[in-house]
Structure 1
């Protein structure tokens, strides 16, 4: 038997629990040893991936308390310099351990951002750790309810056409059903129970492994306007709306047509006027989709101070960044429906855009009994289960403290409490039935084509956009002058009524020849390149959103400067990418291809359309962004075929970024129209040659000229 004070040389070691239960030495008292112990637990857990939410919460709490304790030590005037140095050294030890842990799982770094949300669970754990370290946690302030939109502030504006609408209809019709619903009460069996935290955790504890999706009815019809047809999975959401469902968290993967579903749901619910809040890069596309799917409804897009807003439109589209200027009149317009696109943008409830969205939703629900509210996102969860909180609050399922309305009733009807074993499964099912709809491409593969090209119109704002439109107008005037000069030089007998298309084609050919033979000056090639440069940031922004939603994305561009700008955007956002360019050695090229196809952290590959359009297999991705248009359909198809190959298990979507109201749109139409000719030539159905790049360039100039002549009254 070992004598007192003698170290054991063999036998069993004391159990870890006994070691933790011993009285701490004087140097181990206080908050720092508690933080060190929790940090070691976190580091040990992170070494056994995946990192669970509870571990992430502990990491964030320790990091916050290390930061606060460091500030307290630095400000402690009652300690000597040596005592402060000793405390800071111990804190540095904990911080070093946290840094090593974050290096194992870099996603933990997001929890340290200035705008990172501190969940209720994190606040509760923080209080527990502080008490264990002998500190008294501060009292948490009561959470503030979302403020109603404030009008009259300096930054806010009211467009003139909106004032006209208000004057034309100064009194909104009262909705007595809305007031009755808000006053309705019932006995609450679950009164006194904390329900929000169990609701969030039900998606972790009761997960089934299958996508969360409410029961949806079969659709009777797939038909839509302009002889368009919905895909069956889209039609089922519209059918659910027609049957009376009014709140949806539509979390389908990108490429499954969430925009069309939202617009046709609004039509089924007669939810007009409808407010759409979307990222800047897609707001022009929303207006385009309104014209396609609900052509009898007018849309208006809010830009800047709203000088061009149509206050009488059925659908008002605004981007998140402009809400602070327009939230006042938007809150008073009387919307009966609201769609929030890329709804994960509002996950941080302390952000201004989140507060504006929640305030607008509250205004709509106050005035309308059963408004249509739809949150669209392919990634409803970014870091934590509680990312649901802001989205559920927007939909009116919860408030700051408890479930509301139908969700509260559904929980009451389960007959269970959070203490019962079956509560989490029942609670998860109750939330899903409120309107969560999640379908993956693989789930509805039979609905969608194996390959499709989806156009995404973007608007070129600001000085760059104005300059490009001015250059296009100058080119059109030059073509018109050439055409009129040619007409004037003709003999009177040769003059034809209306536009002479043969002459227009000769004028366009002469302009094209000058453009290719002369250096300098504005021409169709320099203008298209400038459009590509102007689209680069928007295209990169959309590719970044796709990468966050679906994983790996292929990004194609024609020009090096467009690739450079896109890569800088990805680097600024902390997105890892690979690059495939024409000036690379074979060794570098293979290394970058391997990084994209084999490294799960490399989300995007930026490809030169000329250097990477052939000979590559990138089928690890099923989404592709065409930042610049090709001059031929074949070149575009070759790029898409980098991911649409034998072995591709998912439907492929190529997102074509098109600058609205520019020659870019005309080029896209021409490429599509030439595809049939190319197919016939390749299939041997005729003697025609497949269309060349010169055909598209020439026809684009002919279209520019004929449009200008028509505008001048030449019919």
Structure 2
């Protein structure tokens, strides 16, 4: 019968007993007659249709309906079913008396109990009924008591047994519930229905304690089990409820709590770790403190009684037996004070779980020694278990350091004390390096080196050297000394000049080379000053500026200064083959005074004595690997590695090759000092400053694993401090004020071997055809053939796969483009990638898909241009936009991009400029860096030169390839195909 929401109605809740699920509730709306009485017209409602009756419901009604929905048979079935079956089959199987699933039954019961408890906490003031057997929801109304009941547990002990039963009172009246159709509606906490009245208890009681007495007047406890029963059942009951006892005594007592912190050793085991010197020996007869555990346990002492701090209770009960008599000592506990004691431990760094805390030995005893005075002031009693077997030193520890700058190193004076005993620095250092932090004091106690010493002095112990009973530290560890000084862990005497290395902005201007052809921007001048400072102190360095900030020009200024200071010193510059031409061009532009030897090619002169005739020898990593034995016969002034991530793997052949070379100073250049792992950093920094980061084994154990696997921030800070003086890194956002709004770069790429062979073959073929045609038909009638040939050669220069689908070789430019994409994305840049060839974009698109790089795409076939633009502009995950030059060169606003890659040169530079201006326009907040990729010794490089010589044409905005071709003379065409 449907009830109209427009007519008077009442929400009611009806209770019924399910065959398997126990007591359930349902919600109904019942029509109300003119006299305000409930009628027989009713309708079941659920969360799905409750909104129809919103005017008669409040927030509690909606929550009640929701909870009741979740209790229905179908809801339970859907929540717990594991296999496809019908609800009736599920319940018959799960609740079968012989073969049923007991564990699942218990889980279902817990599920329903949680919802019963929630419903009963909200039901006050609502209309509750028992449902009739015919499904009538308002069969019998249940009164919901506003008052709560009390319970008193009775125990009567005699010579043979103990009788146990409860009495319940509601409104000062005894509640009779024995065998009179009363029932327990919810167990935890208990809710009962007696004489059609629903009530719960002032002090929450579990219904399991009451359930037996619905059908029993009392429970009898036999004499032979009474002691166990008294301790496990009666004592907790006395602690929580009112109890009337006859035959045994209950004493209530009150004492002030005393916190007792007990510590004991759990285990001890060896451990193999790397040391600074690659040692694996880790034992000295004292065991490894790192693998041992100390267990702390907190308890509270009340008079002669002690209770663990795992559960905070208002009352605890201890059972005492004297022959045949029992006394229950009811101890009232001070839970507020106990919480304060626990909070004291927490504030000092000891977090308890179930009254316990387990720390490795070094952490534990460090914590204890650091906080001993505070704990004792707060009233803590500190106990050590099993102290007769192995007693640990608990007391003050101190390390007193003095560090003084000498000519080439730092001198160290150290006094270390454990209580009254002074321990040599060398002894502590040996234990620290071998990870054996525990040692025996003269009085027989075992001391453990404080854990904080590993944090505060760990690098000092690792990097200090013992020389003739004196302690020294290499000056490359200047940051370590500065850190000890700033943290007040050492008294330091160091020159202000050396201290300035920690902040390169404070380094004074160095004399600038007279014959440097150009002017450095302010941040580049600062970089030059930094390089000269390292030079003066004999340090190596890593110039790690972001792409496009001028690492090349800063390095060239240093080399020019070296020439002017000591004409005759020769430096070696190693780089990827693809960058050699770039360096030659930049050196010719800025430092034309430098004598440069290009030590590459199959016909190179392999006489190392020739190097002395030059200021700079330029070579590739490949040649260095092949000619290591030749190169290491010469002592260079500087060895400089560009794109030094090439030696990120310390075990690679090229890493070993460059380490075999000899020089006065070393310098590395890279925009990505770390590509995959912190070990990349170790390999490169150990090349420029050997010993700075210890052995690779030591570095892995002390830094790589803690930083990469354990996310150890303290280790990260320590590593940063060590390398900070020797790495200079500026990102373009940091120096934007020193930069023009747009920085243009040309990136020259070498063709791969297979690509070069393909290109030369096609060039010769078209050269003959075109020049013959010009001779016979003239330039005007040769333009189509010329355009066809130039287009094919330009495509091959990009990637031969653009003209031959089955080409299985590689492409030098494509590899460079992929590398540059990876580098830019690694620094969270957004990139526009333009090409006039859709086929070229498709090749790059495949790479992006293979690398799972999200991108936008636009060529002439894309219909919804704006959707692609908005995706790139608004989605931080979309960081690459592939754009056809013709489709996207104009009309787009892409100010989220700060890098623009031009994959192939356009005939008209003005068109390229328009493409760049998609990002470089009003609204752009960052400096825009453009990279034009040119395949060296191809028609692309020649087009670049023609662009410069025909700048007038560019200014006239030539817009089509044919116009450019028409402007070419026979001499121009001949140069293109030379």
Judged with a 3 Å threshold, the aligned counterparts in structure 2 of structure 1 residues 664 and 382 are, in CA distance, closer, same or farther, namely closer
* Structure 1 residue 528 corresponds to structure 2 residue 794: yes
Q: Report how far residue 655 of structure 1 moved.
A: 0.5
CA distance in 2, matches of 1:538, 1:273: 30
Identify the residue that residue 493 of structure 1 maps to in structure 2. none
Judged with a 3 Å threshold, the aligned counterparts in structure 2 of structure 1 residues 571 and 510 are, in CA distance, closer, same or farther, namely same
- Contact residue 253 and residue 378 of structure 1 kept, 8 A: yes
Q: Deviations over 1:429-459 (max 9, x none)?
A: 67534x4322232333343221232111112
Secondary structure at the aligned position of 1:456 is classed as strand
Judged with a 3 Å threshold, the aligned counterparts in structure 2 of structure 1 residues 382 and 606 are, in CA distance, closer, same or farther, namely same
Identify the residue that residue 817 of structure 2 maps to in structure 1. 539
Q: Report how far residue 654 of structure 1 moved.
A: 0.9
The within-5 A match list for 1:254-293 is: 254-270=547-563, 273-293=570-590
- Contact residue 278 and residue 341 of structure 1 kept, 8 A: yes
Q: Report how far residue 299 of structure 1 moved.
A: 4.4
- Contact residue 508 and residue 702 of structure 1 kept, 8 A: yes
Higher helix share: 1
Judged with a 3 Å threshold, the aligned counterparts in structure 2 of structure 1 residues 702 and 532 are, in CA distance, closer, same or farther, namely farther
Match of 1:450 among 727, 730, 741: 741
Q: Deviations over 1:116-173 (max 9, x none)?
A: xxxxxxxxxxxxx9x99xxxxxxxxxxxxxxxxxxxxxxxxxxxxxxxxxxxxxxxxx
Q: Deviations over 1:490-518 (max 9, x none)?
A: xxxxxxxxxxxxxxxx95444324445xx
CA distance in 2, matches of 1:185, 1:212: 20
* Structure 1 residue 378 corresponds to structure 2 residue 642: no
Judged with a 3 Å threshold, the aligned counterparts in structure 2 of structure 1 residues 285 and 389 are, in CA distance, closer, same or farther, namely same
CA distance in 2, matches of 1:529, 1:424: 47
CA distance in 2, matches of 1:559, 1:582: 11
* Structure 1 residue 437 corresponds to structure 2 residue 703: no
Count of residues in correspondence between the two structures: 485
Identify the residue that residue 394 of structure 1 maps to in structure 2. 687
* Structure 1 residue 667 corresponds to structure 2 residue 943: yes
- Greater Cα radius of gyration, structure 1 or 2: 2
CA distance in 2, matches of 1:310, 1:659: 31
CA distance in 2, matches of 1:466, 1:610: 30
Match of 2:752 among 461, 473, 478: 461
Q: Report how far residue 626 of structure 1 moved.
A: 0.8
* Structure 1 residue 553 corresponds to structure 2 residue 553: no
Match of 1:696 among 964, 974, 978: 964
Identify the residue that residue 840 of structure 2 maps to in structure 1. 562
CA distance in 2, matches of 1:660, 1:309: 25
- Contact residue 748 and residue 933 of structure 2 kept, 8 A: yes
The within-5 A match list for 1:512-527 is: 512-515=783-786, 523-527=789-793
- Contact residue 300 and residue 310 of structure 1 kept, 8 A: no
Judged with a 3 Å threshold, the aligned counterparts in structure 2 of structure 1 residues 532 and 428 are, in CA distance, closer, same or farther, namely closer
CA distance in 2, matches of 1:400, 1:219: 29
- Contact residue 904 and residue 940 of structure 2 kept, 8 A: no
Q: Deviations over 1:522-547 (max 9, x none)?
A: 61221122212243333232232232
Judged with a 3 Å threshold, the aligned counterparts in structure 2 of structure 1 residues 609 and 462 are, in CA distance, closer, same or farther, namely same
The Cα RMSD (Å) is 5.0
Judged with a 3 Å threshold, the aligned counterparts in structure 2 of structure 1 residues 189 and 605 are, in CA distance, closer, same or farther, namely farther
* Structure 1 residue 238 corresponds to structure 2 residue 502: no
Structure 2: unaligned runs, 5 residues or longer: 1-204, 207-228, 241-262, 270-357, 362-406, 415-425, 430-456, 464-476, 488-501, 697-713, 800-810
Secondary structure at the aligned position of 1:332 is classed as coil
The within-5 A match list for 1:14-53 is: none
Secondary structure at the aligned position of 1:655 is classed as strand
Q: Report how far residue 258 of structure 1 moved.
A: 0.6
Structure 1: unaligned runs, 5 residues or longer: 13-20, 32-128, 133-182, 404-421, 487-505, 517-521, 682-688
CA distance in 2, matches of 1:539, 1:306: 29
Q: Deviations over 1:602-621 (max 9, x none)?
A: 44222222222223232222
CA distance in 1, matches of 2:745, 2:514: 19
Identify the residue that residue 147 of structure 1 maps to in structure 2. none
Q: Report how far residue 302 of structure 1 moved.
A: 6.1
Structure with more relative contact order (C-alpha pairs < 8 Å, separation 6 or more): 1
Q: Report how far residue 230 of structure 1 moved.
A: 2.9
Judged with a 3 Å threshold, the aligned counterparts in structure 2 of structure 1 residues 511 and 319 are, in CA distance, closer, same or farther, namely same
Identify the residue that residue 497 of structure 1 maps to in structure 2. none
Judged with a 3 Å threshold, the aligned counterparts in structure 2 of structure 1 residues 398 and 615 are, in CA distance, closer, same or farther, namely farther
TM-score normalised according to structure 2 size:
0.43
CA distance in 1, matches of 2:233, 2:878: 56
Secondary structure at the aligned position of 1:339 is classed as strand
Judged with a 3 Å threshold, the aligned counterparts in structure 2 of structure 1 residues 458 and 349 are, in CA distance, closer, same or farther, namely same
Q: Report how far residue 374 of structure 1 moved.
A: 1.9
Judged with a 3 Å threshold, the aligned counterparts in structure 2 of structure 1 residues 222 and 23 are, in CA distance, closer, same or farther, namely closer
Q: Report how far residue 656 of structure 1 moved.
A: 0.6
* Structure 1 residue 641 corresponds to structure 2 residue 641: no
TM-score normalised according to structure 1 size:
0.56
Judged with a 3 Å threshold, the aligned counterparts in structure 2 of structure 1 residues 393 and 472 are, in CA distance, closer, same or farther, namely same
Judged with a 3 Å threshold, the aligned counterparts in structure 2 of structure 1 residues 222 and 638 are, in CA distance, closer, same or farther, namely farther
